[in-house]
Amino acid sequence: MGRSSRAQADENRQRILAAASALFRARGVEDVGIADVMKAAGMTQGGFYNHFSSKEAITTEACAQSFDGAAQKWRQIAADARDGGKDAALAIETYYAADKPPEQTCPMIAFAPIASRRPSDDPLRRAFDDGVKMLLAVYSEQATDGSAKADQDRLSDGFAAMVGAKLLGFARAPISIGHSRVARRR
C-alpha cells in the first residue's frame, strides 16, 4: 500500500480521531495505546504521526470533539422533547442519567482525571474547561428556555448533581431545574 489521496487521508484522520474519542471514553486515556487507536481505525501504528504530533495532541482534540458531540446531542434531545411538548431540561437529565455504551461515557467524567491535574493554561485542560462551560451553558439554556428563569447557582447545582451522581454510580431520579425541586418528588 502506497500513498493515499488527500481526500482519503483526511477521511483517515477523522476515523483515527473518532476511534480515539470512543476508546478514550470507553477505557480511559491511560489504558489506550496509539496502536489500539490505529487498529480500531483500520491502520497500523506508524501512520499515526502523519496526522497527529503526539498522543497528547490527539487526546486534546478527542476531548474537544467529545464535548462538541455531547453538546450537539443535548440540544437535539432538548429540541425533540419540546417538539413532543415535554420539559427540555428534564429530557437532558433523563438522557444523561441513562446507561450508555462505554464509548459514549460522558466526557466530563472520562477526561476529568487527566485534565484536572493540569495547569490552567495547558491545552488539554483548556479543552476540558471549555467543554464543561459549554455543556453547562447548553443545559442552562434549555432549562430556562420557556419556563421561569432559574438562578445561576440553582442551575449549576443541578448540573453538578447530575454529574456527581453519574460519577458515583447513583441511580438518580432526573429533576427539572426549571420547576420546583420539591414539587417533582412523588
Residues 6+ apart with CB under 8 A from 83: none
Shortest reach from residue 29's CB to DNA, in Å? 8
Binding site for a copy of itself (CB under 8 A): 27-28, 30-31, 108-109, 112-113, 116-117, 129, 132, 151, 153-154, 156-165, 167-170, 172-173, 175, 181, 185
Shortest reach from residue 96's CB to a copy of itself, in Å? 11
Question: What DSSP element (H or E) covers 100?
Answer: none
| Binders of DNA in range 1-60 (CB under 7 A) | 1-9, 12-13, 31-35, 38, 43-51, 54-56
The total number of residues shown for the chain amounts to 186
By CB under 7 A, tell whether 117 contacts DNA. no
Helix (H/G/I), strand (E/B), else coil: 57: helix
By CB under 7 A, tell whether 152 contacts DNA. no
Nearer residue to DNA within complex by CB, 47 or 94: 47
Task: Give the rounded distance of the alpha carbon of 152 from its chain centre.
Answer: 22
Instruction: Look up residue 16 and give its three cell numbers.
Output: 483515527
Shortest reach from residue 61's CB to DNA, in Å? 13
Number of C-alpha atoms within 13 angstroms, CB side, residue 154? 13
Nearer residue to a copy of itself within complex by CB, 102 or 146: 102
Instruction: Look up residue 132 and give its three cell numbers.
Output: 464543561
Shortest reach from residue 119's CB to DNA, in Å? 18
Decide: residue 78, CB within 10 A, 0-12 exposed, 13-18 middle, 19+ buried. buried
Shortest reach from residue 162's CB to a copy of itself, in Å? 7
- In whole angstroms, what is the distance from residue 62 CA to residue 29 CA? 10
Residues near DNA, by CB under 7 A: 1-9, 12-13, 31-35, 38, 43-51, 54-56
